[in-house]
Structure 1
């Protein structure tokens, strides 16, 4: 592959210095792909309005088609950060208004495009904030294919659409996980549980490999629910809001099963983490899959 800068007729954000990632990658067969370090885009999903699409200006690559706000990644930038930055620059998407759900990667070897699928948590109106957007629109899922789509997005859309109903969640038995390692946790149950909460928050930020969840694609960001009991009920909520803390009023096992059942009722695919045999059987009867504590330790 060869790296070439933009042609004179292909302007890219004239303001400020150009990023080293803003260059074309040209394959041996002459195909051109934007982004020296790959590219990333955001598929924002609003439960009421559909998905956010960008009508590309005529001078852009595959101009006058509809696709996702996105662009070249910076050197060392994660796919998630790149998609959020580009969508903010091109469509005014507030980073705190969406919650990542999964990353789908198209990789040809030497270049890749990563699609971040994210759920809208706070409704917002997109804003044309740079020269690359001709129009921005919320498009109902059933109407996307009626638009003239960017070829890359058109090829990936059937696969991405099939994943939209998949919403994984992890329900963690805090007492069982904390008690699995003899590190003195019994002297400070709340403190040990706080460490687990913070480790889960870090996992929420980097995501879980799809193979570990028995799901397709690359990386998923499941909803994380930490069920605490006893003295650990004093645990504070996660400051970043990435982990939802559920405090058991009575038996911890009952609260864990109830949390799993509530998520299943919302259409979530639930993985519960515990090594307690009796609790595992109850969870499986509630149509949750179960992973042992050692599985979660491996993810953390």
Structure 2
């Protein structure tokens, strides 16, 4: 693919790469072979997307092919997109949850190295990565969380929740949990092909989730394209004992936590928002309770209505 100025961009359908962030070792960089495009420079594992391939899938596939990044070794933090109109490059930034040693798996690499974040600028970087790195680095410090007013969300859907408040809260937790896990490679890679969807007559729920995986950055007041925030769901009263779905994958690396209010649910939400803001996290409270929203803003959080949360995770959608 060539621009009007004759500059070459690899990938007819765009390209994607992975910034794997290890909290102890830094980020994984690839020393590119001399014969490759911009050979001799340092960048991230990545390459051209296949036709119809989701960028997150392509980034993980390329990282596995070029650097031996194991499936399930990382969980996504955010995606950043360079959009040129005729071509785009998607950077998937992900946290390492299962430490691994990279392996040179093809001829495109001279070396693979974990580089401390403060040392990245000392290397001769690929020009594309060099241009993106300052913004990516600043975003690494951002930790978004969405605090969910479960009672307000559940109460906005007239499905008989008042007969079983705990059950209704568990249905909400299941939706939030499924949405959070949709950012993992396993969930995204399980999306049916277009051919299989044509046979069934409509896209599956998994397909719809994967194509809109993550939360739009603008919804959280953040830079970038999409983020994968943590969710803290506050339950109260008769719903206080609602259980969150668990799996072997999510027990250790869960992006969903349950806050069980011992008294007022509103007070618990404000306390959680205040605590998270003090930790330096970017906090969004999902509620349509005006008074609660004002209290959340007062402690440094932003607010989104429950309709936003319902649409995001598909709560209240009839199958």
- Shorter-chain TM-score range: 0.7 to 0.9
Tell me what 1:16 maps to.
Answer: none
Tell me what 2:238 maps to.
Answer: 231
For residues 23-53 of structure 1, the C-alpha deviation after alignment (integer angstroms, 9 at most, x for no partner) is xx23343222111211111112223222111
For 1:272 and 1:49, locate their aligned partners in 2 and report how far apart those are by CA, in whole Å. 33
For 1:192-207, what aligned pairs fall within 5 Å after superposition? 192-204=168-180, 205=182, 206-207=213-214
For 1:1-300, what aligned pairs fall within 5 Å after superposition? 25-204=1-180, 205=182, 206-239=213-246, 240=250, 241-300=254-313
**Deviation, structure 1 residue 202:** 4.3
Structure 1 pair 202/35, CA: closer, same or farther in 2 (3 Å)? Answer: farther
Q: Is the 8 A contact 2:142 2:281 kept in 1?
A: yes
Structure 2: stretches of 5+ with no match in the other structure: 183-212, 314-319
Q: Is the 8 A contact 2:27 2:115 kept in 1?
A: yes
Structure 1 pair 272/95, CA: closer, same or farther in 2 (3 Å)? Answer: farther
For 1:143 and 1:250, locate their aligned partners in 2 and report how far apart those are by CA, in whole Å. 49
Tell me what 1:12 maps to.
Answer: none
RMSD: 2.0
For 1:129 and 1:273, locate their aligned partners in 2 and report how far apart those are by CA, in whole Å. 44
For 2:163 and 2:73, locate their aligned partners in 1 and report how far apart those are by CA, in whole Å. 40
For 1:190 and 1:254, locate their aligned partners in 2 and report how far apart those are by CA, in whole Å. 20
Which moves more between the two structures, 236-245 or 131-140? Answer: 236-245
For residues 74-127 of structure 1, the C-alpha deviation after alignment (integer angstroms, 9 at most, x for no partner) is 222211111122112222223423221111111112211100111223333222
Structure with higher strand content: 1
Higher RCO, 1 vs 2 (CA within 8 Å, ≥6 residues apart): 2
For 2:108 and 2:242, locate their aligned partners in 1 and report how far apart those are by CA, in whole Å. 47
Which moves more between the two structures, 245-254 or 203-212? Answer: 245-254
Structure 1: stretches of 5+ with no match in the other structure: 1-24
For 1:246 and 1:63, locate their aligned partners in 2 and report how far apart those are by CA, in whole Å. 50
Structure 1 pair 131/191, CA: closer, same or farther in 2 (3 Å)? Answer: farther
For 2:285 and 2:273, locate their aligned partners in 1 and report how far apart those are by CA, in whole Å. 7
For 1:41 and 1:208, locate their aligned partners in 2 and report how far apart those are by CA, in whole Å. 19
For 2:82 and 2:230, locate their aligned partners in 1 and report how far apart those are by CA, in whole Å. 24
Runs of 4+ in 1 over 6 A off after TM superposition: none
For 2:275 and 2:240, locate their aligned partners in 1 and report how far apart those are by CA, in whole Å. 20
Q: Is the 8 A contact 1:209 1:220 kept in 2?
A: yes
> What is the TM-score normalised by the length of structure 1?
0.84
